[in-house]
Amino acid sequence: METKPKVTIDDVARKAGVSKSTVSRIINNVTGVKPYTKLKVNRVIEELGFTPNITARSLKTKLSRQIALAIDDIRNPYYPELAWAAEQVAKENNFRLVLINHYGNPSEELAVIKEASDMRVDGIVLLSISHPKTLTKVIKEAAVPVALIGNYPEDMPADWVGLRENEGYLAMDHLIRIGRRRIAFAGNTTLHRGDRYTAYVQSLASHFIDFNRSLVYTGERLAIDTGLEAARYFYHLNEKPDAVFAANDLVAIGVAQGLIGLGLRVPEDVAVVGIDNIPWCTLTTPKLSSVSNLVAEMGRIAVEKLILRIGEESKAYERIVLEPRLIVRESTVKQM
Amino acid sequence: METKPKVTIDDVARKAGVSKSTVSRIINNVTGVKPYTKLKVNRVIEELGFTPNITARSLKTKLSRQIALAIDDIRNPYYPELAWAAEQVAKENNFRLVLINHYGNPSEELAVIKEASDMRVDGIVLLSISHPKTLTKVIKEAAVPVALIGNYPEDMPADWVGLRENEGYLAMDHLIRIGRRRIAFAGNTTLHRGDRYTAYVQSLASHFIDFNRSLVYTGERLAIDTGLEAARYFYHLNEKPDAVFAANDLVAIGVAQGLIGLGLRVPEDVAVVGIDNIPWCTLTTPKLSSVSNLVAEMGRIAVEKLILRIGEESKAYERIVLEPRLIVRESTVKQM
DNA sequence: CTGTTAGCGCTTTCAG
DNA sequence: CTGAAAGCGCTAACAG
């Protein structure tokens, strides 16, 4: 590649008739430069199209103004949102984002942290799948600070931002509060997200609503067709539910669309709520009520904390536990 | 941040009793080092946990082994797949991927290209939305090579990989070939992807099948509920279609699920095909036949071309036009 | 307010 | 086969 002959700080200095220190001061906004000199140099910079060589600067300052975002797989549906938010904050603070997929491979993940030692990135935002113990060790050995996304032990040597796991209760509370009593569950009762089912059962109990086995529809995958099947199932019950709590949005969308297809009205006849607040929630008719897991928020906060830590010296690690947020849309409450 | 005292090439040299040139030769696999020396030095490297400072190396070699992926918005559904593929190839070649969203903002996009001049990245993979003329100018001024994804003019000063726009014909050919004649269209007839509707009309014509206005269902958004509505519409026709060509996969999924909900069999009664081959195609029952737009393939190729160009000196620019690929699954052909 | 000077950690001729 | 020395482009004392 016939690289354009790069213009350096020396070129600018020479042409402007000053020393390179002066130029350096100007491009770094160091106070105490005579306005006239500044003007003169800036003109030359403009003229020559000079832009500082960040690599050289990094070598000196030991800061690359790059941070890594290490996640298991960007194709995972939540991550684009997260990556986006992270990049926003990074950009606002003049940092760049390097994307690293570690594929849920612990050794790969740990390698990523070590790699950072070679001074390419100033910090790492990590969604870890490693054992906290191993992770702790590697973080301690790392040359740069790490900010974690997810729920971790209290004593992690890193800032982290996680999420309280009460999404299910939020969704159920909402349905009960709007007066529904025959609330059905659609989804998986055993998956690692089975705690959503637990939330279903416990919410009923704490509101003295009888649990009714026939109102539970279990599907394998938490996808749209499971929701559609659930809708068909609920529709043919003698006593139809007046609300459905779906284990995630995909199922909820299937349920809502399925019920509508069968002639019921949502939310009038049946209210439907999902969990995750995926972008599609606003693309369906009616728009889906859901519980946001604040993935963008977590990305944003993690980067903010990381950048703070890169800047300042040591201070106590922060753990931030976000509260999932219920977002009421048309599938549970008729909008005016 | 109390950075661990970094061990440098000098530390290794001193401890191993050799010069740093020798260490440099060893870590760069330069031939002509006495095996014994090599062994000795490698042991010290291991012992000290030395890893070369890439920033310093970059300053010298003028290569950062980083490439930028500049897209408009990672949250766009195709990009994660693309970003993933790009990162794969990058990693295989020992490059890192820096993610940059330019938000379909031409000036931002062009700024990205210029920024690369500051030597942080060795090349850029770009999904451009700028005018080819402006783009050409900026690319020519850029200090690093650019590889483009999408369809561009022949005379672009960059390698590019695009896609032939015959997805619609592929889908229609398939339906006709499996013997369907009452083929319906579901989607948008005017959108910028309206050429899919054109493909529908022209395919019918070239196979001497009469066009039937009542077999066209037009919805605003290319989303699932449009498909569900279309299904209801088709279901209530006196003469139902025996196949549906949907403008994209979301609509196709809606159509298929809707028809099944109404009691029809897919593909026996109605074959359904979509376009885009989104991951969900394999998550529905039946699995959806679709036309892949090879987004991962494009990401892969773009990075490959870019890396080749970073390595070698000038050579003729390549334009690669990929053929969309029909992927037959259960929604059009009954699987054994 | 500005210039001189000494590196940051590495690669790379050029000698030996 | 190995070492000495120069320098990539920049920043940051330290003098003046």
Share of residues in chain A with pLDDT > 90 (%): 51
pLDDT at B312: 73
Confidence of residue A177 (pLDDT cuts 50, 70, 90): very high
Give the C-alpha separation, B132 to B38, whole Å: 52
What is the C-alpha separation between B219 and B186, in angstroms, rounded?
7
Q: Judge: A118–B285 Cβ closer than 8 Å, yes or no.
A: no
Give the tens place of pLDDT for each residue, B285-313: 788 999 999 999 999 999 999 999 987 76
pLDDT tens track for B164-174: 989 999 999 99
Which nucleotide has the least CA–C1' distance to A61? D11
Q: Report the C-alpha gap between B184 and B176 in whole angstroms.
A: 12
Is A87 close to B99, i.e. CB distance below 8 A?
yes
Q: What is the pLDDT of residue A144?
A: 87
Average pLDDT rounded to a whole number, residues A219-240 = 90
Please name the residue of chain B whose CA is at the shortest distance from the CA of residue A221. Answer: B283
Under the banding of pLDDT at 50, 70 and 90, the label for residue A200 is very high
**Residue A203 to chain B, least CA–CA distance (Å):** 31
> Per-residue pLDDT averaged across B250-256, rounded?
91
The reported pLDDT for the residue numbered A125 is 94
Distance, in Å, from the CA atom of B256 to the CA atom of B262, rounded to the nearest integer, reads 10
Nucleotide nearest B61, CA–C1', reads C11
CB contact under 8 A, A99 and B100: no
**How far apart are alpha carbons A91 and A313 in whole angstroms?**
22
Interacting residues of B163 by C-beta distance below 8 A, sequence separation 6+: B150, B151, B293, B294, B298, B321, B322, B324
Size of interface A-B (CB pairs under 8 A): 170
Q: Which residue is nearest to the C1' sugar atom of C9, using CA?
A: B56
> Mind listing the pLDDT tens digit for each residue in B86-110?
999 998 898 888 888 877 777 878 8
**Which residues from chain B sit within 8 angstroms of residue A310, using beta carbons?**
1
CB distance A120–B52 less than 8 Å? no
Report CA(A59)–C1'(C9) in Å, whole number: 8
- Predicted pLDDT at A1: 43
Instruction: For residue range A103-118, list pLDDT tens digits in order.
Output: 777 787 888 787 766 6
Residues belonging to chain B: 336
CA A23 to chain centre: 40
Burial class (CB in 10 A: 0-12, 13-18, 19+), B268: exposed
* Closest alpha carbon within chain A to B287: A225
pLDDT digits (tens, 9 = 90+) for A264-290: 999 999 999 999 998 778 777 788 999
**Contact between chains at B1 and A141 (C-beta distance less than 8 A):** no
Residues of A in Cβ contact (< 8 Å) with B53? 59, 118-119
Burial class (CB in 10 A: 0-12, 13-18, 19+), B191: middle
Q: State how far residue B81 is from chain A, nearest Cα, in angstroms.
A: 6
Furthest C-alpha separation in chain B = 91
Mean pLDDT of all residues belonging to chain B? 89
Nearest CA in chain A to B256: A225
Contact between A53 and B87 using a beta-carbon 8 Å cutoff: no
Shortest CA gap B106–chain A (Å)? 17
Please give the share of chain A, as a percent, with pLDDT higher than 70: 95
- Predicted pLDDT of residue A233: 96
pLDDT of residue A2: 43
Q: Check residue B34 and give its pLDDT.
A: 86
Chain B residues with CB inside 8 Å of A100's CB? 87, 96
CA angle at A35 for the pair A31 and A36, rounded to the nearest 5°:
145
Contact B37, B22 (CB under 8 A): yes
Question: Is the CB of A228 less than 8 angstroms away from the CB of B257?
Answer: yes
> pLDDT-based confidence at B2, cuts 50/70/90?
very low
Residue nearest to nucleotide D2 (CA to C1'): B22
CB contact under 8 A, A280 and B141: no
Can you name the residues that pair with B96 across neighbouring β-strands?
Answer: B66
Residues A272/A289, Cβ–Cβ less than 8 Å: yes
Tens of pLDDT, residue by residue over B9-59, are 999 999 999 999 999 999 988 888 888 999 989 999 999 888 898 889 999
Residue in B76, B100, B120 closest to A55 by CB: B120
Average pLDDT over residues A280-302: 89
Tens digit of pLDDT for each residue in A10-28? Answer: 999 999 999 989 999 999 8
pLDDT digits (tens, 9 = 90+) for A121-139: 899 999 988 888 988 988 8
Using CA atoms in the order A294, A296, A301, A307, what is the torsion angle rounded to 10 degrees? 170
Mean pLDDT value of segment B175-190: 94
* pLDDT greater at residue B311 or residue B329: B329
In this prediction, residue A197 carries a pLDDT of 93
Q: Which nucleotides of C are covered by protein (CB under 7 A)?
A: 1-5, 7-13
Tell me the average pLDDT of chain A: 89
Footprint of strand C on the protein (CB under 7 A): A 17-22, 25, 32-38, 56, 59-60; B 6, 8-10, 20-21, 24-25, 27-28, 50, 52-53, 56-57, 59-61
Partnered with residue B185 across adjacent β-strands are B216, B245
CA distance A3 to chain B (A): 5
Which of B84, B99, B314 minimises the CB distance to A2? B314
Structure tokens at A30: 């160091």
Is the per-residue pLDDT at B314 higher than 90?
A: no
Q: In the predicted model, what is the mean pLDDT of residues B212-235?
A: 91
> Contact at 8 Å (CB) between A334 and A302?
no
Q: What is the mean pLDDT of residues B203-228?
A: 92
pLDDT at A223 over 90: no
Asked whether the predicted pLDDT for residue B332 surpasses 70, the reply is: yes
